[in-house]
Amino acid sequence: MQGIGNGKVSIIATSSDGRARAESKITVYSGYVYSTLNLANRVGHLTMDDDTGVLTANLTTALLPMSDPNGITTDPAGKFLYTGDFQSGNISLFSINQSTGELTANGNFPAGINPRNLLVTPDGKYLYLAAEGSQSIRTYSINGDGTLNFLNSFPTTIGHSQIQISRDGNYIFYLSPTLTELVSYRINYIDGGLTLVGTSPSFANDGSGNVSTHPNGNFLYVGSYPSMTILSFDRNTGNMGLVDSVAHSMGINGSAIHPNGLFYYTVNINHESISCYRIDPNTGKISLFQTINGFVGSSLRFLIIDPTGRFAYLADSNGQLKHFSINQMNGELTLIGSVNPGGVQWNLVFL
């Protein structure tokens, strides 16, 4: 049996008489990691060794001069890759060779002023972008060849780089105009439109807004400052409630939750560290169990975890992309290597 593309696949077996039926869900992935190399105006392409987790750098792919790529995402099938290009005000499109992972530049699309992070809905139908300078969320439909059609722009009255989607793909999360609440927008899958449906209780915040979603869909983790905020989430209404506030006192740029839902990792951008927390999946509450220091002179960006949950990868401004193994029993991270993907990294995506 061979997967026809990346993503979650359901395998259903039925007995010949139709009386017995079993279903198993698996995740198909390629083992490719892509990183925006913002100062080099390129995208790095790396290949993961499935046994060791170590990454090997392949050739980088150039963007337009002065593009400054920040955000990066792929479509669910692993055919197309998109970057939000901060300086040029574009979204760049690349086709992905699914046999080799090689990227081919395939056009640019206007994206407002200072586009940052972007994401694609689970069905591959729409792309949403945080346009920081335009103070808006921009919506695009995705054509069969990966090209984009601009649909609408939703004013946010603040310029922010972070945007997140719910696990079921029905909601977009963004900070409120005060920066002290998280708001949820319901996605209309007929036209890609967004409707604001929920506003969280207020929390202290200096403007940080990284959001991670729990695999069970019931909790949201906001990298607010000086304390992290944990919210409950109602998937039917989009409403949010306060679960806990956890003192952290470090600026969080990126975060990731382990696929098993038991571990939460924060990337402390200017404190040169990663904080590791255990999650109670029933209550959503967290407890610190490990802090990794020693990234001297680094401005840490984002962390991604491979779909099997065995390895994690850290984007670092010093040029060396870090590799970690993850202890499956206790969630501890162990540094196992690093590689230069062709320049300093801003963001990462696993395919």
| Stretch 35-45: mean pLDDT | 97
Q: pLDDT digit string (tens) for 197-249?
A: 999 999 999 888 899 999 999 999 999 999 999 999 999 999 999 999 999 98
- Cα 211 to Cα 50, 75, 94, distances in angstroms: 28, 20, 26
List the Cα angle 127/128/130 in 5-degree steps.
145
What is the rounded CA–CA span in Å between residue 106 and residue 328? 39
CATH number of 173's domain: 2.130.10.10
For residue 55, tell me if it sits in a domain.
yes
For residue 12, tell me if it sits in a domain.
no
pLDDT above 50 for 12? no
For residue 21, tell me if it sits in a domain.
no
Report the chain's mean pLDDT, rounded to a whole number: 92
Strand residue runs (E) in 53-203: 55-57, 61-62, 69-74, 80-85, 90-96, 103-110, 115-120, 126-131, 136-142, 148-155, 164-165, 171-175, 182-187, 194-199
pLDDT above 60 for 71? yes
pLDDT above 80 for 296? no
Asked if omega into 226 is within 30° of 0 (cis), the reply is: yes
What is the rounded CA–CA span in Å between residue 97 and residue 99? 5
What is the rounded CA–CA span in Å between residue 118 and residue 129? 4
Q: What is the pLDDT of residue 9?
A: 45
pLDDT above 80 for 286? yes
pLDDT above 90 for 25? no
| Stretch 32-42: mean pLDDT | 97
pLDDT above 90 for 15? no
pLDDT above 60 for 287? yes
The residue range of the domain holding 114 is 31-350
Q: pLDDT digit string (tens) for 86-127?
A: 999 999 999 999 899 999 999 999 999 999 999 999 999 999
Would you place residue 1 in the very low, low, confident or very high pLDDT band (cuts 50, 70, 90)?
very low
| Residue carrying the six token digits 């029993």 | 329
pLDDT above 70 for 10? no
b/e map of 162-177 (b: 16 or more CB within 10 Å)? Answer: bbbbbeebbbbbbbbe
Task: Tell me how many domains the chain contains.
Answer: 1
pLDDT above 60 for 8? no
What is the rounded CA–CA span in Å between residue 122 and residue 138? 17
